[in-house]
């Protein structure tokens, strides 16, 4: 009887049906076989009736004809879709309210975002529920606030989820909140002088190493030391630039600093500078924070006569037109051939569900769903320098993926399960009747 009970217990784990659960359930990494699914391996490729095998946190096999390892937990995903895990390339999650060095809060080039991160377990859980398996941690505010970090959204401690700590150096051409430099011109002068000083320090260090007897003693300035990689073009620079003017200034500064690898971060007014950005040939991390129509460059100079009586229809129509252009920002950039990644970066937090809603708004405004997926998977993986590990469903890559009951970004689609390095999480949609009928879990979207 004991042997029979053990056999039956084992079989329940060998063949698994994705039933709904009332709460998030994390299942430790093991060997899984996701069978009979439509597998979207990348924005440009999909397999029908395919299998994904996950072993020790990585994808070991994927395709329509795959051998299933003995002992694998099989999950029948008939009529389901499997997608690469989504990447929010620049999130301020858990970074607000941590100024770091209070004496120079805007100038801390050696600070890593992971050091300032204070996100909670609940914050990470909300990211997973939205299908976000990797998140870039980026600062908001500050002239040289620090370095971007990247982490997976598994249930482990921060150190075990980190994928990178020195992804890029963040810069912004605005002054600090207190003390010099407090103006845009001051910030530009300060950054350029920091680059020149760092170049000088590099030459002095090299001379001292080559001939310590006659060369001057090097200056061990920690701020300059933190800039060496960016100055040598071995670390990318992300310029925070939202408005049209900020985009122009960032490009000018990049040229003056001799940067070969830089990215625009924000770009909410990219639609006003399409030709310029296309000529720059650099990626734009587009924030889905939508500015108010009256905040857009040039609105204050529009000539408008308010009617003496009645509704101001002209103003409403003008606002509606500008609002549509704001929502269509990402679509316009992609249409022009500009490399785009989507992010939640901004002065205030965007909840993960709101983030996906904003992606849907961008699609409604003209961004093709395939390009939206690209902007949340392969492109951010490339910008982060992690395309060998994440961004697509390929053999040898991390098992970061999500399971849906429909096409991603469709209104009625729910995210049913999320895998983060092979760790499986299940959810319910909140619609018990639907869950019972379809025998599927999901997170409401």
3-state secondary structure 255-301: HHHCCCCEEEEECCCHHHCHHHHHHHCCCEEEECCCCCHHHCCCHHH
Q: Where does CATH 2.30.40.10 sit in the chain?
A: 2-83+392-438
Write out the two tokens for 138.
């980026």
Q: What does the alpha-carbon distance between residue 5 and residue 248 come to, in Å, rounded to a whole number?
A: 70
Write out the two tokens for 406.
């429909």
Taking CA atoms, 206 is separated from 137, 192, 212, 213, in Å, by 34, 21, 10, 13
Q: Where does CATH 3.20.20.140 sit in the chain?
A: 86-293+323-383
Tell me what pLDDT residue 317 has.
73
Q: What does the alpha-carbon distance between residue 444 and residue 404 come to, in Å, rounded to a whole number?
A: 11
Tell me what pLDDT residue 347 has.
79
| Nearest residue to 389 via CA among 30, 217, 134, 211 | 134
Residue 307 has a CB neighbour count (10 Å cut-off) of: 10
Burial class (CB in 10 A: 0-12, 13-18, 19+), 327: buried
pTM of the model: 0.87
- Specify the CATH number of the domain 86-293+323-383: 3.20.20.140
Q: What does the alpha-carbon distance between residue 379 and residue 371 come to, in Å, rounded to a whole number?
A: 10
Whether 4 shows a pLDDT value over 90: the answer reads no
Write out the two tokens for 339.
């490399």
Instruction: Report how many helices (DSSP H) and strands (DSSP E) the chain contains, helices first.
Output: 14, 20
Q: What percent of the chain has pLDDT over 90?
A: 66
346 pLDDT tier (thresholds 50, 70, 90): confident
358-383 residue pLDDT tens? 999 999 999 999 999 999 999 999 99
Burial class (CB in 10 A: 0-12, 13-18, 19+), 211: exposed
| Nearest residue to 215 via CA among 201, 225, 194, 229 | 201
Average of per-residue pLDDT across 93-119: 80
Task: Say if CB 38 and CB 50 are below 8 A apart.
Answer: yes
The contacts of residue 267 (CB under 8 Å, 6+ apart) are 241, 242, 247, 277, 284, 285, 286, 287, 329, 333
The contacts of residue 251 (CB under 8 Å, 6+ apart) are 276, 280, 282
Whether 443 shows a pLDDT value over 70: the answer reads no
Inter-helix orientation angle 352-364/121-129, to 10°: 30
98 pLDDT tier (thresholds 50, 70, 90): low
Whether 5 shows a pLDDT value over 60: the answer reads no
Residue 408 has a CB neighbour count (10 Å cut-off) of: 20
325 pLDDT tier (thresholds 50, 70, 90): very high
| Nearest residue to 417 via CA among 38, 46, 57, 82 | 82
302 pLDDT tier (thresholds 50, 70, 90): low
12-57 residue pLDDT tens? 444 444 433 335 555 555 899 999 999 999 999 999 999 999 999 9
Write out the two tokens for 300.
């204050």
CATH (one of 3.30.70.580, 2.30.40.10, 3.40.50.1360, 3.40.50.300) for 2-83+392-438 = 2.30.40.10
258-274 residue pLDDT tens? 999 999 999 999 999 99
Average pLDDT, the chain: 86
Q: What does the alpha-carbon distance between residue 173 and residue 214 come to, in Å, rounded to a whole number?
A: 39
Whether 172 shows a pLDDT value over 60: the answer reads yes
């Amino acid at each position: 009887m004991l042997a029979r009970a053990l056999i039956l217990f084992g079989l329940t784990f060998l063949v698994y049906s994705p039933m709904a659960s009332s709460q998030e359930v994390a299942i430790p990494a093991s060997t899984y076989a996701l069978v009979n699914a439509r597998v979207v391996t990348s924005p440009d490729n999909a397999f029908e009736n395919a299998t994904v095998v996950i072993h020790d946190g990585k994808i070991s096999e994927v395709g329509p004809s795959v051998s299933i390892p003995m002992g694998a937990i099989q999950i029948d995903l008939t009529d389901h879709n499997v997608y690469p895990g989504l990447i929010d390339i620049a999130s301020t999650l858990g970074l607000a309210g941590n100024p770091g060095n209070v004496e120079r809060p805007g100038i801390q080039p050696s600070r890593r975002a992971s050091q300032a991160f204070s996100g909670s377990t609940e914050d990470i859980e909300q990211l997973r529920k939205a299908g976000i398996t990797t998140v870039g941690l980026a600062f908001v505010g500050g002239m040289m606030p620090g370095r971007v970090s990247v982490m997976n959204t598994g249930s482990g401690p921060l150190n075990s989820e980190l994928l990178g700590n020195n992804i890029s150096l963040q810069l912004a051409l605005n002054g600090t909140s207190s003390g010099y430099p407090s103006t845009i011109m001051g910030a530009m002068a300060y950054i350029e002088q920091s680059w020149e000083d760092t170049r000088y320090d590099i030459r002095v260090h090299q001379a001292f190493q080559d001939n310590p007897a006659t060369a001057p003693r090097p200056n061990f300035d920690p701020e300059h030391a933190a800039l060496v990689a960016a100055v040598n073009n071995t670390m990318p620079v992300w310029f925070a630039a939202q408005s049209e003017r900020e985009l122009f200034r960032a490009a000018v500064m990049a040229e003056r600093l001799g940067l070969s690898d830089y990215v625009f971060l924000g770009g909410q007014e990219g639609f006003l500078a399409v030709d310029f950005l296309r000529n720059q040939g650099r990626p734009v991390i587009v924030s889905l924070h939508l500015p108010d129509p009256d905040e857009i460059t040039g609105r204050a100079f529009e000539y408008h006569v308010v009617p003496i009586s009645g509704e101001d229809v002209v103003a409403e129509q003008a606002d509606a037109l500008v609002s549509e252009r704001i929502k269509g920002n990402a679509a316009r950039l992609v249409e022009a051939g500009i490399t785009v990644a989507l992010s939640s970066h901004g002065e205030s937090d965007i909840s993960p569900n709101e983030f996906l809603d904003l992606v849907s708004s961008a699609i409604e405004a003209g961004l093709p769903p395939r390009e939206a997926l690209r902007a949340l998977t392969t492109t951010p993986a490339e910008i982060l320098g992690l395309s060998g590990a994440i961004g697509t469903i390929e053999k040898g890559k991390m098992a970061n993926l999500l399971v849906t009951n429909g096409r991603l970004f469709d209104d009625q689609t729910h995210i049913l399960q999320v895998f983060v390095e092979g760790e499986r999480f299940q959810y319910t949609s909140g619609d018990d009747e639907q869950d019972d009928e379809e025998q599927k879990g999901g997170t409401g979207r």
